[in-house]
Amino acid sequence: AALLALPAFAQSYPTQAISLVVPFAPGGPTDALARLMVEPFSRELGVSVVIENLGGAGGTIGVGRVASARPDGYTLLLHNIGMATAPTLYRRLPYDPLTAFETIGLVAPVPMVWIGRPNFPGTNFADMLAFIRENGDKVNVAHAGLGSASQLCATLLQAQIRQSVTTVAFRGTGPVFAEIMGGRIDLVCDQTSSTTPYITSGRVKAFAITSAQRLSSLPDLPTATEQGTPFEVTVWHGMYAPRGTPRAIVDRVNAALRVTLGEPRLIARLAELGIAPEPQERITPEAHRAFLEAEIARWRPILTAAGEYAD
Ligand code: MLT
């Protein structure tokens, strides 16, 4: 195709399908969030938005692909807190989160849940921690790779209780559920966006939610803190375009994102998963960038201190 001058691109954008990269396998929380958003988001943009699952290396492979994509608004990224943890966890990342992207807006904070295989011994968070303390490296904890949210949660818990387990990396947490239900993986800490249906249908055991308060979507599940072990983790999500994407396109995508996240049907479906979208004032490129900077700075010392548990 002929290379159009960027202002012309920007003026008529979008005229073709947009690829929304999810840097994890299908069936996990990032994918679940993207799939819920895609219908109103496509409608707002007037073209189809196609989810592209590019998992691997804790999301850094997919993120790297977007970093080097053409900055024409046809490749976008939905990613989580890993954008802020990977710079500390990787000696060499193929991108710099702060210079390789245009931030479009924050999307939604999502709490996590510690879940286990159906025949995991015990019923509550204290039982889970006792089992880890007794069995140490014999316990298998899945995550979505170094730099993923589930890996962050696993690292924080190991550091807090000063007990290492054996971690097993997947290309996303989507593929983990079958392993948990089949008893081949003991535990995973994953977001309510994907764990909720497995918990409510009783297919996995749930031990603790990592939010400050219980969720109305999982009213019987106590927080870790109320079970005597203060442990809070919230995963945030943001949308990105490759650096150099014209401001007019970023603004167009941002406007569609704002409408999408204010849509009553989406809000209702997210609420069933214990999720409320970000307030409108945080769905801006500037708020997103400032938050990303703050998060990179916030996690650096914590992850450096937890270093021996971070894999
Ligand atoms: C994560 O751990 O970062 C996500 O759960 C991975 C995913 O969305 O599959």
Establish whether residue 62 lines the binding site of ligand 1, counting it when its CB lies within 6 angstroms of any ligand atom.
no
pLDDT in 10s for each residue of the chain, 311 residues:
455 555 677 789 999 999 999 999 999 999 999 999 999 999 999 999 999 999 999 999 999 999 999 999 999 999 999 999 999 999 999 999 999 999 999 999 999 999 999 999 999 999 999 999 999 999 999 999 999 999 999 999 999 999 999 999 999 999 999 999 999 999 999 999 999 999 999 999 999 999 999 999 999 999 999 999 999 999 999 999 999 999 999 999 999 999 999 999 999 999 999 999 999 999 999 999 999 999 999 999 999 999 989 88
Establish whether residue 78 lines the binding site of ligand 1, counting it when its CB lies within 6 angstroms of any ligand atom.
no
The confidence score (pLDDT) of residue 208 equals 98
**CA gap 61, 220 in Å, rounded:** 37
DSSP-derived pairing of the beta strands 187-191 and 140-143: parallel
Residue 57 vs residues 63, 96, 256: alpha-carbon distances, Å: 10, 16, 30
Establish whether residue 80 lines the binding site of ligand 1, counting it when its CB lies within 6 angstroms of any ligand atom.
yes
Atom of ligand 1 nearest to the CA of 25: 9
Nearest Cα to Cα of residue 59 among 13, 7, 21: 21
Instruction: Quote the ligand 1 centre to 237 CA distance (angstroms).
Output: 11
Residues 6 or more apart whose Cβ sits within 8 Å of residue 309: 154, 155, 158, 159, 164
Atom of ligand 1 nearest to the CA of 151: 2
pTM of the model: 0.96
User: 79, 67 in Cβ contact below 8 A?
Assistant: no
**Which ipTM score applies to this complex?**
0.96
Q: Reduce the DSSP state of residue 153 to 3 states and report it.
A: helix
Determine which residue's CA is closest to atom 9 belonging to ligand 1.
172
Establish whether residue 149 lines the binding site of ligand 1, counting it when its CB lies within 6 angstroms of any ligand atom.
yes
Establish whether residue 29 lines the binding site of ligand 1, counting it when its CB lies within 6 angstroms of any ligand atom.
yes
The confidence score (pLDDT) of residue 42 equals 98
Taking phi first (over 0 means left), then psi (-120 to 50 degrees means alpha), and beta for anything else, what does residue 46 get?
Answer: left
Nearest Cα to Cα of residue 254 among 109, 107, 108, 110: 107
Establish whether residue 28 lines the binding site of ligand 1, counting it when its CB lies within 6 angstroms of any ligand atom.
yes
Establish whether residue 85 lines the binding site of ligand 1, counting it when its CB lies within 6 angstroms of any ligand atom.
no
Burial class of residue 302 in the structure, from the number of CB atoms within 10 Å of its CB (0-12 exposed, 13-18 middle, 19+ buried): middle
Instruction: Quote the ligand 1 centre to 311 CA distance (angstroms).
Output: 15
